[in-house]
Amino acid sequence: MTVHDPWQQAERPEEQTGELPRVSVELPPVHEAWLPREHSLHRPRHGTRQLTALICALVFFAGPAALWVFGGRPSELENHKLASFPGLDSGWAFFTGLGNWATDQLVFRGGAIDAADWISRTLFGEPPPLDQGGRSPVGPLPNPPGGIGGVPNPPNVEGPTPGVPGTEGFRRVIEGSDGWLYFGYDTDAKCQPTKPLAESIAGLNRLRDAITASGRKLVLVVAPDKTTMVPEHLPGTYPGRDCANAAAPELWRAVTKDAKALDVRPALQAAGREAGRPVYHQQDTHWTDEGSVAMVRAVAEHLSPGVTATWQVSDGKPWSGGADLATMVGKRAKKEGMAYEIRPDGFNNRSQDPVKPGMAQPTHRQSDPVGGTIDKPTTVIGDSFTEITSKYLPAAFSNVTMQSYMAINDTPTQVANQMANSEIVVLQVVERNIAGGILLPFTSDMFIETLRPILAARPVR
């Protein structure tokens, strides 16, 4: 910028003319950086910094486009699909959604995360803080499988996202020894529940009363958190460790004694001893196929003692898939397992393909009754643990319908009628949801008052 400075006139023009100086309309051109620092128009030169900023912006915005031209494509680093470009008809949501789209489309984001991980571990001796709570809710986290504040959860992981009220200071993922990862909400739920445990237990008992009053059986199965079943790889210290450990004994006493839940922990421990390893995946929050088989066998034995005596369980096909906890911190990792074949009568394999992810709609599986199976119509409602166990439920029940309990939020009457079509109801819920008091739509007064008259009108004699 060029300015005109009156100070470039004669220092004392009044001595030459005897008159006061007159400021000329046309002043000599002077660059603003050459003016005295005291001058109001003084601006230091910063062209070099401007040029550096422009180059960085060009690399940041044009780099991904160039990589795309040469075959580079963004990958799903987190457990959600890449954000699509927001529509122009979305109103202000166009601007709020643009950031998520731009972030997901960065081709080099995976490399950047890996680099940050290496730098943090090499220079500071700790993992990068990619998963700490207290952030704004922009993560990939069904919030509590449905969502808190519009923030989605990774598929198949129940619990809220850090950044929503009540999760500050906790880790989204806890890094243990030997590469083991744990879901941070396992701890957060026990330390900062959204409602008292007694209230959740009372809701479960109201549900039991509504079901059993109609002559039906209810089996409540609480899937233990990974932190409960495989604590040996947890770090010595982590946020919430002490309060979670203090709350766990009372939780399990209330669940098994007051709510009369089937305690599957002994069955899971026995399955782990037989397998020679824990029945939970190293970098995923769910149990393995061995855990699924153990849960199904425990439920069948609870309903009909001795019914599984004829079961023959053999290896089927190995499988692999994405590990949810690893992807929650921007890493790529697989979980692997063996899909087992279960022959309840010793001859016919009754294992089937798992249900569709999410279980939003009921899935019905029916087969001819054989020895080693329970023939009464059965409804199983649960969460992601039921989803991964669904391939083995037909081995225990010849007439079974499976669905997510989150469907109660949208279609409570449909779920109630589905229960009315059954003589046995199996409700599976993960430990952290009961501890935190979230994602328990089956305990709401609205659903129970919807369910009770429907079941009463069609009693089981």
Question: pLDDT, tens digit, for every residue of 8-48?
Answer: 444 454 555 555 555 555 556 777 777 777 777 777 766 56
340 bridge partner residues: 315
Give the up-direction half-sphere exposure of residue 371: CA atoms within 13 A in the CB hemisphere. 8
Query: Is 190 inside a domain boundary?
Result: no
Query: Is 461 inside a domain boundary?
Result: no
Q: What is the pLDDT of residue 140?
A: 32
pLDDT tens digits along 176-192: 999 999 999 999 999 99
| Residue at which a domain ends, from 185, 213, 244 | 185
Q: What is the pLDDT of residue 27?
A: 56
Q: Which two tokens stand for residue 322?
A: 């994405």
pLDDT of 50 > 90? The answer is: no
Percent of the chain with pLDDT over 70: 69
Number of domains in the chain: 3
106 plus 144 within the same structural domain: yes
161 plus 249 within the same structural domain: no
| Residue at which a domain ends, from 164, 185, 206 | 185
178 plus 235 within the same structural domain: no
Q: What is the pLDDT of residue 74?
A: 61
Task: Please give the residue range of the domain that contains residue 156.
Answer: 77-185
Q: What is the CA radius of gyration of the chain?
A: 31
163 plus 269 within the same structural domain: no
Query: Is 91 inside a domain boundary?
Result: yes
pTM: 0.72
Q: What is the pLDDT of residue 114?
A: 58
Distance from C-alpha of 359 to C-alpha of 167, rounded to nearest angstrom: 27
Q: What is the pLDDT of residue 35?
A: 76
Query: Is 70 inside a domain boundary?
Result: no
Distance from C-alpha of 329 to C-alpha of 78, rounded to nearest angstrom: 7
pLDDT of 369 > 90? The answer is: yes
Q: What is the pLDDT of residue 330?
A: 77
Average pLDDT on 408-418 reads: 97
pLDDT of 108 > 60? The answer is: no
Quick one: how far is CA 422 from the chain centroid?
31
Q: What is the pLDDT of residue 327?
A: 85
**Nearest residue to 410 (alpha-carbon basis) of 378, 446, 459, 377:** 446
pLDDT tens digits along 189-244: 999 999 999 999 999 999 999 999 999 999 999 999 999 999 999 999 999 999 99
445-456 and 412-420 helices cross at what angle (nearest 10)?
40
Give the up-direction half-sphere exposure of residue 43: CA atoms within 13 A in the CB hemisphere. 10
| Residue at which a domain ends, from 185, 216, 245 | 185
Residue 164 confidence class, pLDDT cut points 50, 70, 90: very low
173 plus 233 within the same structural domain: no
Strands (E), 323-438: 334-343, 363-366, 378-382, 399-404, 424-430
100 plus 20 within the same structural domain: no
178 plus 201 within the same structural domain: no
pLDDT of 271 > 70? The answer is: yes
175 plus 203 within the same structural domain: no
Query: Is 442 inside a domain boundary?
Result: yes
Average pLDDT on 351-366 reads: 95
Q: What is the pLDDT of residue 10?
A: 45
pLDDT of 109 > 70? The answer is: no
Q: What is the pLDDT of residue 58?
A: 76
Q: Which two tokens stand for residue 167?
A: 């999760």
Query: Is 105 inside a domain boundary?
Result: yes
Q: Which two tokens stand for residue 22?
A: 């007159």
Distance from C-alpha of 323 to C-alpha of 79, rounded to nearest angstrom: 9
Distance from C-alpha of 452 to C-alpha of 419, rounded to nearest angstrom: 11
393 plus 339 within the same structural domain: yes
Four-CA torsion 318, 397, 255, 407, nearest 10 degrees: 80
Cβ pair 369, 375 in contact under 8 A: yes
Q: What is the pLDDT of residue 141?
A: 33
pLDDT of 148 > 80? The answer is: no
Query: Is 71 inside a domain boundary?
Result: no
pLDDT of 7 > 60? The answer is: no
179 plus 200 within the same structural domain: no
Q: What is the pLDDT of residue 217?
A: 98
181 plus 156 within the same structural domain: yes
Q: Give the mean pLDDT of the chain.
A: 82
Four-CA torsion 438, 442, 247, 293, nearest 10 degrees: -110
Distance from C-alpha of 152 to C-alpha of 145, rounded to nearest angstrom: 8
Residue 135 confidence class, pLDDT cut points 50, 70, 90: very low
Cβ pair 195, 444 in contact under 8 A: no
Count the neighbouring beta carbons within 10 Å of the beta carbon of residue 100: 16
Kind of pairing between the strands at 217-223 and 424-430: parallel
143 plus 232 within the same structural domain: no
Query: Is 72 inside a domain boundary?
Result: no
pLDDT tens digits along 288-324: 999 999 999 999 999 999 999 999 999 999 999 999 9
